[in-house]
């Protein structure tokens, strides 16, 4: 896991002192993602940078990596290729010779053998750039589900790219600006962002499953992977058996590491399945007992009140799961002061405003884990793959003519009238929803009910999941921790995508198929536990601290927030309810709307961004 960046320019020589300083500055922004080593490489028209978090072949695998005998074919790569051993054997049989044990070198030789088509052979999470001086072309590629981020900005004579916006923003010729469309993205409901949009003016993301080629004739984008609708063959028993076999193989591949590995264990179904399979995999490899981690908050047990999103408290289930699978479990318990002290860390990691304690607590959890482990497994994406959230099951949300998690809530009432008129937030959201629906693969003969479920599952995988994966990657990598996400393996996603909904909710419970596949892997109470989302802070002291910050902000005459937000509208909304309900349809915690506004103000104040 690493940070990558680069610059291609066909109109200037990038070997000059100023150009080298620029690529060094871009690379330096990625130190958080790659604290172990770094390097840059420059040629006449390409400058490539890399920061490394060493996971596989600690002594080898240094980057940027140059192809043997091809001085002008250079790779910078972030992520993991889980089938690199098989690919290495295949390439060796074709005459390729290897100097290291790294998956990086396998990827480079794969490019030399198959060109851009090498991505179709990869099983993993990855983002990479290959400068091919023979073709005078840069190839950018991103994994199928978009686990690893990759941004780029087209320039008059080339392109800038990097794992995060901060690397592109560090280039002296790129200006941090946000226009009307960027503002609409910023104030859209969570999980409804436009794939490929980078929010900053001129900044794009490489879409999941997509290649971007930059050459002298410009920039071209092409998809190499999409979900396809097909008939499913097999009954529940055989389908559950296939899911179990896939998951066992996926997790076993993802426990390969030359550094300490652990698992995030909340006590929910998803993390418990991953942890149980990981514990078994490590045992088969004669590795040390699996370490597992969970997060909790001071006073959370006493303050816990069940609701639809959190029907049960995590910690007792996390402890029970750890005891059952035999892991070495640690609970990271956070206090209000911890959250306030680290309040701005997610903003620095994301380069954009975030949503409060759900983000801050995850940063703090990752910081503690990184003291003991370099790699962590996570249960993220199971809800999107198997259909675990309430909006897959509540008729009113399914029928809503928009993203179901965004059916209620909008920032529009708080925007200044001129901003509201300029960005047309409701119309923008409607356009993006229509765009998303137009992408959905269809299956002939499906009932209207099954067709709608297919649409919602597609929206979850392509809109909601990227929001979660971005959060997980950016916050964990800010702490030098690699998080692997087994449920995003494209083989599993392709297979389960076409399983009928009646089978996905077998037994009349969400993720019934996953529960059937995990039968015998976990005890009954864990196997039957209902979905409970990531916990929010329970200590009222945190809420009081955030509230006090907003009250102070509302009295500041020159606060930049009010370039976008109406002071009068915010004051009235706050007087009605200080938690500002109704602004965010999905609120990770009661303080999320307030925390977001504080982040927007801080971002405008400190980032140097210009509103155009």
Residue 303 has pLDDT above 80, yes or no: no
Q: Is 2 a catalytic residue?
A: yes
| Distance separating alpha carbons of residues 572 and 578, to the nearest angstrom | 10
Helix pair 357-370, 465-477: axis angle to 10 deg: 50
Residue 420 has pLDDT above 80, yes or no: yes
Residue pLDDT, tens place only, 211-261: 999 999 999 999 999 999 999 999 999 999 999 999 999 999 999 999 999
Residue 279 confidence class, pLDDT cut points 50, 70, 90: very high
Residue 304 confidence class, pLDDT cut points 50, 70, 90: low
Residue pLDDT, tens place only, 92-135: 999 999 999 999 999 999 999 999 999 999 999 999 999 999 99
Q: Strand, coil or helix: what is 16?
A: coil
What average pLDDT does this structure show over 357-371? 95
| Distance separating alpha carbons of residues 439 and 335, to the nearest angstrom | 44
- Is this structure's pTM higher than 0.85? yes
Residue 520 confidence class, pLDDT cut points 50, 70, 90: very high
Q: How many CB atoms lie within 10 A of CB 145?
A: 24
Q: What is the pLDDT of residue 302?
A: 64
Q: Please, are residues 326 and 289 in contact by the beta-carbon 8 Å criterion? A: yes
Residue 396 has pLDDT above 80, yes or no: yes
Q: Strand, coil or helix: what is 434?
A: helix
What's the whole-number average pLDDT of the chain?
94
| Distance separating alpha carbons of residues 60 and 53, to the nearest angstrom | 12
Q: What is the pLDDT of residue 1?
A: 67
Q: Which two tokens stand for residue 248?
A: 């066992």
Residue 51 confidence class, pLDDT cut points 50, 70, 90: very high
Percentage of the chain lying above the pLDDT 90 cut: 87
Q: What is the pLDDT of residue 533?
A: 74
Q: What is the pLDDT of residue 588?
A: 62
All domains of the chain in start order, with CATH: 2-223 (3.60.20.10), 236-410+426-527 (3.40.50.620)
| Distance separating alpha carbons of residues 192 and 170, to the nearest angstrom | 28
| Distance separating alpha carbons of residues 34 and 471, to the nearest angstrom | 18
**Distance set, CA 236 to CA 248, 494, 505, 514 (Å):** 18, 17, 11, 11
| Distance separating alpha carbons of residues 111 and 134, to the nearest angstrom | 13
Q: What is the pLDDT of residue 188?
A: 95
Q: Strand, coil or helix: what is 303?
A: helix
Q: What is the pLDDT of residue 446?
A: 92
User: How many secondary structure helices (H) and strands (E) does the chain include?
Assistant: 25, 19
Percentage of the chain lying above the pLDDT 70 cut: 98
Q: What is the pLDDT of residue 288?
A: 82
Residue 587 confidence class, pLDDT cut points 50, 70, 90: low
First to last CA, the chain: 35
What average pLDDT does this structure show over 541-567? 96
Q: What is the pLDDT of residue 286?
A: 76
* Unique residue bearing structure tokens 């392709």: 494
Residue pLDDT, tens place only, 126-168: 999 999 999 999 999 999 999 999 999 999 999 999 999 999 9
Q: Please, are residues 78 and 206 in contact by the beta-carbon 8 Å criterion? A: no
Q: Which two tokens stand for residue 495?
A: 């297979």
Higher local confidence (pLDDT), 69 or 375 = 375
Q: Where are the alpha helices (DSSP H) in 255-390?
A: 269-284, 300-303, 314-325, 336-341, 345-350, 357-370, 382-386
Q: How many CB atoms lie within 10 A of CB 29?
A: 22
Q: What is the pLDDT of residue 313?
A: 75
What average pLDDT does this structure show over 274-285? 94
| Distance separating alpha carbons of residues 584 and 301, to the nearest angstrom | 26
Q: What is the pLDDT of residue 537?
A: 76
- Return left, alpha or beta for 124; rule: phi > 0 is left, psi -120 to 50 is alpha, else beta: left
Residue 309 has pLDDT above 80, yes or no: no
Higher local confidence (pLDDT), 586 or 273 = 273
Residue 312 has pLDDT above 90, yes or no: no
| Distance separating alpha carbons of residues 151 and 78, to the nearest angstrom | 13
Residue 542 has pLDDT above 70, yes or no: yes
């Amino acid at each position: 896991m690493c940070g990558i960046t680069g610059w291609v320019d066909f109109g200037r020589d990038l070997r000059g002192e100023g150009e080298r300083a620029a690529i060094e500055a871009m690379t330096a922004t990625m130190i958080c993602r790659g604290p172990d080593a770094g390097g840059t490489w420059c040629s006449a028209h390409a400058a490539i940078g890399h920061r490394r978090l060493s996971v596989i072949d600690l002594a080898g695998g240094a980057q940027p990596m140059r192809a043997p005998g091809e001085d002008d074919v250079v790779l910078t790569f972030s992520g993991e290729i889980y089938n690199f051993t098989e690919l290495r054997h295949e390439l060796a049989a074709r005459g390729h010779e290897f100097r290291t044990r790294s998956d990086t070198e396998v990827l480079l030789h794969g490019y030399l053998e198959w060109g851009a088509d090498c991505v179709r052979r990869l099983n993993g999470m990855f983002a990479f750039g290959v400068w091919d001086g023979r073709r005078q072309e840069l190839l950018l590629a991103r994994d199928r589900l978009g686990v690893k981020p990759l941004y780029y900005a087209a320039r008059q004579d080339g392109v800038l790219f990097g794992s995060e916006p901060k690397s592109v923003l560090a280039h002296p010729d790129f200006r941090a600006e946000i226009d009307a469309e960027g503002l609409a993205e910023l104030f859209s409901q969570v999980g409804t962002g436009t794939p490929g949009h980078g929010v900053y003016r001129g900044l794009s993301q490489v879409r999941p499953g997509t290649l971007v080629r930059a050459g002298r004739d410009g920039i071209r984008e092409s998809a190499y992977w999409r979900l396809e609708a097909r008939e499913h063959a097999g009954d529940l028993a055989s389908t559950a058996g296939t899911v179990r076999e896939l998951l066992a193989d996926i997790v076993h591949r993802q426990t390969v590491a030359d550094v300490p590995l652990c698992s995030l264990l909340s006590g929910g179904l998803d993390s418990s399945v991953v942890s149980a399979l990981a514990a078994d995999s490590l045992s088969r490899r004669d590795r040390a007992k699996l370490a597992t981690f969970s997060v909790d908050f001071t006073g959370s047990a006493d303050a816990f009140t069940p609701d639809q999103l959190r029907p049960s408290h995590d910690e007792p289930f996390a402890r029970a799961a750890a005891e059952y699978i035999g892991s070495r479990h640690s609970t990271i318990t956070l206090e209000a002061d911890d959250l306030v002290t680290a309040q701005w860390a997610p903003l620095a990691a994301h380069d954009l405003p975030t949503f409060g304690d759900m983000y801050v607590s995850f940063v703090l959890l990752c910081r503690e884990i990184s003291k003991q482990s370099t790699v962590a497994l996570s249960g993220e994406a199971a809800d999107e793959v198997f259909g675990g959230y309430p909006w897959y099951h509540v008729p009113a949300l399914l029928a809503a003519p928009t993203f179901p998690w965004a059916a209620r809530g909008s920032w529009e009432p708080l925007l200044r009238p001129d901003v509201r008129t300029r960005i047309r937030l409701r119309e923008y959201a409607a356009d993006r929803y229509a765009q998303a629906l137009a992408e959905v693969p269809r299956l002939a003969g499906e009932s209207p009910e099954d067709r709608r479920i297919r649409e919602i599952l597609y929206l979850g995988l392509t809109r909601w999941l990227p929001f979660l994966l971005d959060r997980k990657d950016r916050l964990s990598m800010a702490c030098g921790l690699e998080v692997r996400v087994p449920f995003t393996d494209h083989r599993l996603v392709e297979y389960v995508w076409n399983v009928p909904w009646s089978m996905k909710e077998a037994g009349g419970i969400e993720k019934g198929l996953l529960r059937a596949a995990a039968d015998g892997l976990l005890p009954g109470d864990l196997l039957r536990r209902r979905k409970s989302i990531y916990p929010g802070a329970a200590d009222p002291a945190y809420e009081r601290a955030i509230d006090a910050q907003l009250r102070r902000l509302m009295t500041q005459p020159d606060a930049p927030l009010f370039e976008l937000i109406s002071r009068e509208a915010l004051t009235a909304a706050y007087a009605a309810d200080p938690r500002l309900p109704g602004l965010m349809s999905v609120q990770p915690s009661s303080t999320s709307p307030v925390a977001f506004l504080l982040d927007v103000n801080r971002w405008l104040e400190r980032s140097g961004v210009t509103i155009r």
